[in-house]
Structure 1
Amino acid sequence: MNSVDNLLHILELKHIKENQFEGVSETVGSPNVFGGQVLAQSLNAAYRTITNGRVLNSLHSYFLEAGHLDYPINYDVTIVRDGGSFSVRRVTATQKEQTIFILSASFHKAEEGYEHQITMKSDLKQPEHLMSWNDILDQFGSMLPSKTKSFLEIPRPVDFKPTVLPNPFDKQDLPPFADVWFKLKGDVSNLSLAIKQQILTYISDYNILSVALQPHASKAHWGNLQTASLDHSMWFFREFDFNDWLLFSLETPSTGNARGFAKGNIFTRDGVLVASVAQEGLMRPIPKT
Structure 2
Amino acid sequence: MTNPAERLVDLLDLEQIEVNIFRGRSPQESLQRVFGGQVAGQALVAAGRTTERDRPVHSLHAYFLRPGRPGVPIVYQVERVRDGRSFTTRRVVAVQQGRTIFNLTVSFHKPEPGFTHQLPMRRAVPGPEELPTIAEELRGHLGELPEALERMARRQPFDIRYADRLRWTPDEIEGAEPRSAVWMRAVGPLGDDPLVHTCALTYASDMTLLDAVRIPIEPLWGRRGFDMASLDHAMWFHRPFRADEWFLYDQESPIAIGGRGLARGGIYDREGRLLVSVVQEGLFRPRDSSVTEP
Contact 1:141-1:149 at 8 Å conserved across structures: no
Q: What is the 5 A alignment of 1:2-13?
A: 2-13=3-14
Tell me: CA distance 1:122–1:286, structure 2 relative to 1, closer, same or farther (3 Å): closer
Aligned residue in 1 for 2:239? 238
* DSSP 3-state at the match of 1:271: coil
Deviation at 1:269, TM superposition (A): 0.7
Q: Distance in 2 between matches of 1:275 and 1:86?
A: 18
1:116 aligns with 2:117: yes
Deviation at 1:218, TM superposition (A): 7.5
Deviation at 1:180, TM superposition (A): 0.2
1:185 aligns with 2:182: no
Tell me: CA distance 1:219–1:96, structure 2 relative to 1, closer, same or farther (3 Å): closer
* DSSP 3-state at the match of 2:253: strand
Tell me: CA distance 1:151–1:61, structure 2 relative to 1, closer, same or farther (3 Å): farther
1:51-71 CA-to-partner distances (Å, cap 9, x unmatched) read 362111000000000000121
* DSSP 3-state at the match of 2:160: strand
Tell me: CA distance 1:130–1:27, structure 2 relative to 1, closer, same or farther (3 Å): farther
Aligned residue in 2 for 1:163? 163
Q: Distance in 2 between matches of 1:260 and 1:143?
A: 33
1:151-198 CA-to-partner distances (Å, cap 9, x unmatched) read 85462111000012323224323211111001111124x422211111
* DSSP 3-state at the match of 1:215: coil
- Taking structure 2 as the reference length, the TM-score comes to 0.90
Deviation at 1:147, TM superposition (A): 11
- Taking structure 1 as the reference length, the TM-score comes to 0.91
1:203 aligns with 2:227: no
Aligned residue in 2 for 1:176? 178
1:223-267 CA-to-partner distances (Å, cap 9, x unmatched) read 221210000000000011245311000000000000010000000
1:30-83 CA-to-partner distances (Å, cap 9, x unmatched) read 321000000000000000000362111000000000000121000000000111
Aligned residue in 1 for 2:287? 286
In structure 2, stretches of 5+ residues that fail to align are: none
* DSSP 3-state at the match of 1:80: strand
Q: Distance in 1 between matches of 2:264 and 2:139?
A: 30
Q: Distance in 2 between matches of 1:96 and 1:65?
A: 12
Runs ≥4 in structure 1, deviation > 6 angstroms? 218-221
* DSSP 3-state at the match of 2:129: helix
Q: Distance in 2 between matches of 1:221 and 1:140?
A: 11
Deviates more, 1:167-176 or 1:13-22: 167-176
Deviates more, 1:129-138 or 1:203-212: 129-138
Contact 2:262-2:280 at 8 Å conserved across structures: yes
RMSD: 2.5
Q: Distance in 2 between matches of 1:32 and 1:219?
A: 19
Tell me: CA distance 1:221–1:147, structure 2 relative to 1, closer, same or farther (3 Å): farther
Matched-pair identity in % = 37
Contact 2:133-2:161 at 8 Å conserved across structures: yes
Deviates more, 1:253-262 or 1:116-125: 116-125
Deviation at 1:287, TM superposition (A): 3.6
Q: What is the 5 A alignment of 1:214-253?
A: 214-217=215-218, 223-242=224-243, 244-253=245-254
Deviates more, 1:159-168 or 1:202-211: 159-168
Q: Distance in 2 between matches of 1:186 and 1:20?
A: 29
Deviation at 1:122, TM superposition (A): 4.9
Deviation at 1:134, TM superposition (A): 2.1
Q: What is the 5 A alignment of 1:138-149?
A: 138-142=139-143, 149=149
